[in-house]
Structure 1
Amino acid sequence: MLPARPGLVVFDLDGTLVDSAPDIAQAVDIMLGRLGLPEAGEVRVRGWVGNGVEMLVKRALTGAVRPAGEPPRFREALAWFMDAYAEHMCDRSRLYPGVRDGLARIKAGGFPTACVTNKHSRFTQTLLEQLGLAPYLDFVGSGDQFAQHKPHPEPLLKTAAHFGIAPAQSLMVGDSANDAEAAHRAGFMLALVPYGYHGAVDLAALEPDVVVKSIAELPGLFEAL
């Protein structure tokens, strides 16, 4: 259970609010095709999402989860990915069940809300607007707007400071080890969802305060505190 009623609720985007992997995978495969390389496919790309666009492209070019250095033609590939994803980012991306209802109820309950993602700002706001989530979020922080990406705590700490709310009174809601590490290092409470892009990671090992089946469960938890 959560140790306290949160004063701020911060959501991850990809894998938590939105299943964006189909469109990300399509853009990756378009990029690889322009380079004369074989397609990666959605299953592999799902395992590469979560550390920002530059890391995604490096993983696609090398096939490595932790690529070393900058692979050949990286800058060219990055530009092609950015253009392809801008064109296709809302083709097949969908909200996870319970997201809209949960966000609406949290917002109606008077809780400040934010989305903090490693996704580039070129895409974040458009995706949130196209999927109808922008009205439920008071603040949006993208990967290129911070000096560090999650799992570094800086994005969460700066978001809490923006609202003037102590980290210990803030809740991070995510799906991955990146979200969990960022929350723990920032001193946030942590809620995880069992879907998303965490792969084979055991959620219990990430030490969340609570695991919720959907975002729609959160308002009930808050009301009980």
Structure 2
Amino acid sequence: MNHYKYFLFDLDGTISESAPGIIKAVQYGLDAVGIHETDKERLSTFIGPPLNVQMKKLYHMSDKDIVTAVTKFRELYETKGIFDCRPYPGLDMLLPSAVESGHILAVASSKPEPFVKEIIGHFGFAPFFSVICGSDIGDELKKRAVISQKARII
């Protein structure tokens, strides 16, 4: 750990076990456009990539249906799903230890930045990160979210 000065973390699947909230909200969004997905393995592929990209890839949805599904996803996710997650064990010890050792920590997520900051704050981890970045909240609705957007965010 001492060889590196900077540590860059993703949020979903790295800091946060976020599957429950995301999967429920994805199902809610897909239901709104007539897609009733129950395959947990398929639903778990929505953890990480931009929603619009994954919806197009898996279901070949129209742009209009993607906007509807993402809007419905957010309706549930922003009110209930955002905190239907938990931090991975050991991070509460790793993060302060890394900062005390002189490391600089950052978060870069494809999730919209306001959500990233809210979750990191909810876990009490915000003081340990020098930078917390995410996507623009409108990217998925305006078809600007692409699979390679993580590089732009970083």
Q: TM-score, normalised by structure 2?
A: 0.80
Structure 1: gaps (5+ residues): 157-225
Work out which of the residue numbers 96, 100, 104 in structure 2 matches 1:104.
96
* 1:82 paired residue number: 74
Decide whether the 8 Å contact of 1:49 with 1:56 is kept in 2: no
Provide structure 2 residue ranges, at least 5 long, that are not aligned to the other structure.
none
The alpha-carbon distance between structure 1 residues 88 and 24, as it changes in their structure 2 partners (threshold 3 A), is: same
Aligned to 2:109: 117
What are the residue-to-residue correspondences of 1:8-157 with 2, within 5 Å? 8-59=6-57, 62=59, 70-144=62-136, 149-150=149-150, 152=151, 154-156=152-154
Which residue identity lines up with residue 111 of structure 2 in the other structure? K
The code of the aligned residue for 1:55 comes to V
Q: SS in structure 1 opposite 2:79? A: helix
Query: Judging changes above 3 Å, is the alpha-carbon distance between structure 1 residues 41 and 133 closer, same or farther for their aligned structure 2 residues?
Result: farther
Aligned-pair Cα RMSD in Å: 2.6
Equivalent pairs counted in the alignment come to 146
User: Cα deviation per residue 1:189-211 (whole Å; 9 max; x = unaligned)?
Assistant: xxxxxxxxxxxxxxxxxxxxxxx
Give the drift of 1:50: 1.4
Distance (whole Å) between structure 2 residues aligned to residue 80 and residue 7 of structure 1: 41
Summarize deviations over 1:139-181 as a string: whole Å, max 9, x none.
011022898612x3x433xxxxxxxxxxxxxxxxxxxxxxxxx
CA distance in 1, matches of 2:34, 2:90: 40
- The alpha carbon displacement at 1:59 in A equals 4.8
% identical equivalent positions = 24
